[in-house]
């Protein structure tokens, strides 16, 4: 039965990242190889697990931590290019690093020789030190997060993501994080969940232990038991599991993995300095203790990782610690941005202890005894020869040339070039003074959009940070134009084809059309867009055109019994206009709505007019003439006409009991129910 295809492979994320293949799959995320079609470059796309994406708190933290990581620029840190959410996917776009993880190296090779193990930790500490200087902690140092290219260059990945994930205790998926990384967690992370730079020192110390021995220090049946040992046990000496490890390397691991943070190295820079000294001693004399190298005989430079001494071997550069030690016969086409099944073709060479191919042999020892003196007696007379004199002259010339070349090379290499300072994140104006103090100039050579850098700040330099920069030269800087955004054009009232062209000209794409009612835009023309007209969007973002179906239908509301103002407001809310018509109504008091034309419930279009019938009250009646009639006859006749009756006497005594007069008089029109006053005699 064939496996189900991955639903993300083949998609175009945000109209920019074309997903091509799965690189690795982990418990929290899946990493894909993708192509940024805008910049035409290969990237690694890390898509977080959907259960995490459904946690709003995680998404907010993920965005914040990814933006922080994107500001970190260092040769030993995997670069972060972009982040976002798309169709339920929360993703991170990172530098694509062909190669393998350090876990692959350990899986295939096992323990490394001490010199190589320290050479691996060196660039890891450099990347961590840069992160700490930028103000955030990794929190999840482990072999899966250390990448090794086919040329041996080492990069640390996933800065800030551990914080985003572990801060989501409400999500069931995040509760597995401790299980996955408990072997490297510091005691304070286990006990309180808090971490600082010294926590990364501890994790790197555990990493060094594993590099030296091929195993982590603590193993148990449950993650909780492992966490307990981190809190209560001291990490054993690596030499207790692996022979050939000097005591001072044991001491280095012990200090890095001390249970109390205050007993560890104060920061990764101090750890790096001590690692550099230890590497120098291992290269010179593995039997010498670390304490003997700390008395001034050898000085460490934690900035570039080099050590200097009056004589002795040179320490191998940190990033070359695995050059020749790790080779992928598959050409390094794999990547290792996330832990996953490692390639089976990783190998380590066996030339430790002898010069690598192309390297000069070690110089002869300074302790070589001098040649034995000649025997006593008259020394033989030297034989002069013009031929031998020529040889001496030639030798002298060669020595002088070598000295001049060597001295010149030293002057050019040491005095005319300096490591390029890090000015990324500064403006040209802010970067100019510190560079000028080091004999460098800077100019804005290019501009580029950036999702993470504010407009006007430097996002890269040529030469790059840490590379050689010639004193007196001008540094080319690429300056941020800010996020690349384009406004949705105003296409309201345009035909679909013309609106489509306008959106595409604005460097956006058209996702399709949807129908929508609109009171003013004629049917068949574009009435609006989604996102709305004027929205500022990333390049190639999809825009939907909303095409008018004309005014929306609306039913005439029931208005009977409402006063005039209320009835008009109800009609306006329904999108209808009112025409007032007054009519008599037997059942409705004057001034109240008596109905509409057309009647309530009739379907009209928004904007149509409705006759609002307002009652003038009951219709009027003609007052009958009852003068001369008897009281009873007059009252009966008036009441039959719908009128009320009131009587009064003309004289103190009523004699005839007939109507003498009436008010109002006969023939007058009055509202039904009006009162007629009769005067009797």
Element holding 660 (H helix, E strand): strand 659-663
- The answer to whether 602 touches 556, Cβ cutoff 8 Å, is yes
Place of tokens 């009951």: 618
Task: Quote the CA–CA distance of 586 and 551 in Å, as a whole number.
Answer: 37
In the sheet that holds 146-148, the strands lie side by side as: 100-101, 146-148, 154-156
How many other CB atoms sit within 10 Å of the CB of residue 570? 17
Told to judge if 622 belongs to the known catalytic residues of this protein, a careful annotator would answer: no
Q: Which residues of 396-410 are buried (b: 16+ CB within 10 A; e: fewer)?
A: eeeeeeeeeeeeeee
- The answer to whether 334 touches 312, Cβ cutoff 8 Å, is no
The contacts of residue 33 (CB under 8 Å, 6+ apart) are 19, 20, 21, 22, 23, 42, 43, 44, 45, 96, 335
**Residue 629, beta-bridge partner list:** none
Place of tokens 């000028």: 436
Task: Quote the CA–CA distance of 328 and 109 in Å, as a whole number.
Answer: 13
Give burial (CB, 10 Å; 0-12/13-18/19+) of 365.
exposed
Is the omega angle on the peptide bond into residue 563 within 30 degrees of 0, that is, cis?
A: no
Task: Quote the CA–CA distance of 171 and 654 in Å, as a whole number.
Answer: 100
Task: Quote the CA–CA distance of 317 and 546 in Å, as a whole number.
Answer: 61
Phi and psi angles of residue 141, each rounded to the nearest 5 degrees, phi first: -75, 120
**Residue 80, beta-bridge partner list:** 94
SS (H, E, C) 8-50: CCCCEECCCEEEEEEEEECCCEEEEEEEECCCCEEEEEEEECH
Largest interatomic CA distance in the chain: 194
Task: Quote the CA–CA distance of 532 and 545 in Å, as a whole number.
Answer: 10
The three-point CA angle 540-545-548 to 5° equals 170
Choosing from 55, 82, 122, 140, the catalytic residue is 140
The three-point CA angle 534-535-541 to 5° equals 125
How many other CB atoms sit within 10 Å of the CB of residue 193? 13
Question: Can you say whether residue 214 is alpha, beta or left, with left for phi > 0 and alpha for psi between -120 and 50 degrees?
Answer: left
The single-letter DSSP state of residue 414 is I
**What six digits make up the tokens of 13?**
């994320």
The single-letter DSSP state of residue 86 is E
The single-letter DSSP state of residue 182 is G
Hey, which bits of 379-508 come out as E strands?
Answer: 417-419, 441-448, 458-462, 468-470, 474-480, 486-487
Element holding 120 (H helix, E strand): helix 114-134
Hey, which bits of 484-626 come out as E strands?
Answer: 486-487, 509-516, 526-530, 536-537, 542-548, 553-555, 577-583, 593-597, 603-605, 609-615, 620-622
Task: Quote the CA–CA distance of 541 and 13 in Å, as a whole number.
Answer: 10
CA 612 to chain centre: 58
Residues recognised as catalytic: 140
């Amino acid at each position: 039965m064939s496996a189900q295809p991955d639903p993300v492979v083949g998609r175009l994320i945000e109209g920019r990242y074309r997903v091509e293949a799965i690189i690795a799959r982990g418990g929290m995320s899946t990493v894909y190889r993708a192509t940024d079609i805008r910049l035409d470059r290969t990237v690694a796309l890390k898509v977080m697990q959907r259960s995490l994406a459904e946690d709003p708190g995680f998404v907010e933290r993920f965005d914040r931590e990814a933006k922080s990581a994107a500001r970190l620029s260092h040769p030993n840190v995997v670069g972060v290019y972009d982040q976002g959410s798309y169709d339920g996917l929360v993703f991170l776009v990172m530098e694509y690093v062909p190669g393998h993880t350090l876990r692959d190296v350990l899986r295939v090779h096992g323990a490394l020789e001490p010199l190589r193990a320290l050479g691996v930790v060196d660039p890891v500490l450099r990347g961590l030190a840069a992160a700490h200087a930028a103000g955030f902690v990794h929190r999840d140092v482990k072999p899966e997060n250390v990448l090794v290219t086919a040329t041996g260059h080492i990069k640390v990945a996933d800065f800030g993501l551990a914080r985003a994930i572990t801060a989501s205790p409400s999500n069931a998926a995040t509760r597995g994080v401790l299980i996955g990384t408990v072997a490297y967690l510091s005691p304070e992370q286990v006990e309180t969940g808090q971490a600082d730079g010294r926590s990364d020192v501890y994790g790197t110390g555990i990493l060094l232990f594993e590099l030296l021995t091929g195993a982590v220090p603590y193993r148990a049946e449950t993650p909780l038991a492992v966490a307990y040992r981190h809190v209560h046990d001291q990490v054993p000496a690596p030499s207790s599991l692996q022979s050939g490890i000097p005591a001072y390397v044991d001491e280095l691991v012990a200090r890095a993995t001390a249970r109390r943070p205050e007993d560890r190295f104060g920061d990764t820079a101090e750890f790096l300095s001590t690692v550099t000294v230890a590497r120098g001693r291992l290269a010179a004399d593995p039997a010498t203790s670390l304490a003997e190298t700390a008395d001034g005989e050898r000085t460490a430079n934690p900035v570039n990782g080099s050590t200097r001494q009056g004589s002795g071997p040179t320490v191998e550069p940190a990033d070359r610690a695995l050059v020749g030690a790790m080779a992928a016969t598959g050409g390094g086409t794999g990547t290792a941005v996330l832990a996953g099944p490692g390639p089976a073709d990783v190998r380590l060479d066996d030339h430790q202890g002898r010069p690598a191919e192309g390297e000069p042999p070690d110089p002869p020892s300074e302790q070589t005894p001098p040649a034995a003196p000649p025997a006593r007696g008259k020394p033989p007379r030297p034989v002069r020869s013009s031929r031998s004199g020529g040889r001496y002259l030639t030798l002298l010339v060669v020595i002088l040339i070598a000295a001049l070349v060597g001295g010149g090379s030293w002057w050019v290499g040491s005095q005319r070039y300096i490591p390029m300072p890090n000015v990324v994140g500064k403006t040209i104006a802010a970067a100019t003074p510190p560079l000028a103090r080091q004999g460098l100039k800077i100019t804005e050579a290019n501009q580029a959009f950036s999702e993470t850098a504010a407009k006007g700040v430097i996002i890269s330099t040529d030469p790059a940070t840490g590379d050689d920069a010639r004193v007196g030269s001008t540094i080319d800087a690429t300056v941020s134009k800010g996020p690349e955004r384009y406004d949705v054009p105003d296409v309201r009232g345009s035909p679909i084809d013309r609106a489509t062209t306008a959106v595409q000209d604005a460097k956006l794409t058209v996702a399709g059309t949807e129908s929508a009612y609109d009171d003013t835009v004629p049917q068949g023309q574009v009435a609006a867009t989604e996102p709305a007209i004027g929205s500022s969007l990333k390049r190639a973002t999809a825009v939907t055109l909303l095409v008018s179906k004309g005014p929306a239908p609306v039913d005439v509301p029931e208005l009977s019994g409402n006063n005039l103002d209320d009835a008009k407001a109800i009609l306006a809310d329904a999108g209808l206009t009112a025409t007032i018509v007054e009519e008599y109504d037997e059942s409705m008091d004057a001034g109240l709505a008596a109905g509409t034309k057309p009647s309530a419930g009739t379907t009209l279009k928004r904007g149509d007019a409705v006759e609002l019938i307002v009652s003038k009250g009951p219709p009027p009646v003609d007052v009958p003439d009852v003068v001369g009639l008897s009281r009873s006859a007059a009252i009966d006749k008036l009441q039959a006409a719908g009128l009320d009756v009131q009587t009064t006497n003309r004289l103190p005594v009523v004699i005839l009991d007939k109507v003498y007069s009436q008010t109002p008089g006969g023939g007058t029109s009055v509202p039904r129910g009006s009162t007629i006053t009769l005067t009797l005699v």
